[in-house]
Structure 1
Amino acid sequence: MLKCLSVAGSDCSGGAGIQADLKAFSANETFGMSVITSVVAENTTRVLSVFNVPVEEIQKQIDAVFEDIHVDAVKLGMLPTAEIISAVADKLNEYKPSIIVCDPVMVATSGDALSEGGTVSTMREKLFPIVTLLTPNIPEAEAISGLEIKNENHMEKAARIIMDMGVKNVLVKGGHLTGDAVDYLCTPEGVHKLACKRVDSPNTHGTGCTLSSAITANLAHGMDMLSAVTKAKNYITEAIEKSFTVGKGHSPVNHFYDYYDLKGTVL
């Protein structure tokens, strides 16, 4: 079985972060492993606290995985400080995994900040040259590109700006806009508009984590970039459609809709 590693924060409510990544890896037929960068006390309505794991412990977790297990692909999620970004990048340069998908998590679905200031410049310097794909949502793409994004034309322009920063492939996600769910994938071969009907649901906790992890698994399976992203987009759309309610706020998606359909259920 192919093996995928998530380097990200832990969400104790189970909807986002490492917990969402491992579910998405399993649902997309890969063996999931994790390196925890931050312990986030959060639920479906708010973030109570963020405890960042000491850099040395993050590095030891990465060493523990790579020294014993072959890693087919890596997904990067919440890297909350410049120091952590730099340390993770150094380890990835040491072990050189062939696939690295980076979801530049900056803000929780509830709106609470998950990263410190100064992380964008460190990402540009340390991570952008080595990642296979960057998957920012609109606020993240704005922070990285410096461009205010109000429509699809702005999304495409932001993707090109980020690509010019040295990123191999960029997926700008349009979930924060209105209308159809439109994403723009910028690759060396060109720009691809990926559109599907927007699912009207409050159950969107962990959608970015889940999408990027599904893409990571698909790339590990040997899919080309466009196919990997398209398949993952279809997966997250159905996971939202067949979601159920957990908690009082933004509930998570149903990662395992192929195995059980709890659409509309309140747990």
Structure 2
Amino acid sequence: MPKNSYKIPSSLNRSFLDHEVALSGGGFQAKPLPMKVLLFWSGSILTLFWVASSTFVAQAAWWLIALVVIWWLITTAFLGQYSKTKEMKFASVPALLAYVPAAARRVLTRTSTNPSSFYSVVGIDNISATGLIKYSDGTLGQGYLVVGSASILLFEEDRKAILNRVDSFWRKVDTSCEYTFVTTKEPQRVYHQIANLERRNLALEVRDPELKELMDEQYDILNDYVGKQFASIHQYLLLKGDNLESLRRAHSVLQAEVENSSLMIKGCTMLNGDEVTDMLTVLYKGKSS
């Protein structure tokens, strides 16, 4: 049976500083705080005493010292906040400083510009003809076009069966491989319709000009109108493994899931190099004005 509620499990990357301590005394019960938050506040208060008593700030007027103390406490309270993701805002300061310059927020993708900035964002070294992605950190990836079976119109029994199947699948996956679902909105795919139109064209026994004109019109509608102006939602699954062996194991688990049941994944197609490039193009290519 599916669970009624879910929670984010504790990270395996926890350290001594992540342990929470409950502060209480005299009938007062405060919310448990991690050790790193308490140490951050303690270090900040001690530094404040040193700045206000032993530096040039101590020579200023009392109201200037009061302003420094108030500013210091407000800054400490802001940077010492603990987010829902178990991270302190203080840890985001280096990323903020790196993001402040205008050059760091703008990545040029022209063919005549230096590709280093764009490469640092993408982090992909190569995409082979078979669709194997080689990342700059040494990991490998493979993309798939997937079709799910969930719908808002499901009956209760079908919903439970899908949730049970999904829960069973995630219990089998290997932790050495990442599963990333990418949802995009792209033009309708009309490859099969165009191929069927071409087969009808080749099967014609009489080459009538009016019939040929009708088929050309159908091709233009499929290729230029439906295939470019009608957008639909497409979903991809990106497997990223530490090495080729972990990627193969993840592929085997995914293949077994698709072959044995259609509850979680109704259809799955491995992408080749060109198709992976098209998938990533939707994510990284800006809209032309």
Asked if TM exceeds 0.5, the reply is: no
Give TM-score, length-normalised by structure 2: 0.21
Larger Rg: 2
Give TM-score, length-normalised by structure 1: 0.22
More helix by share: 2
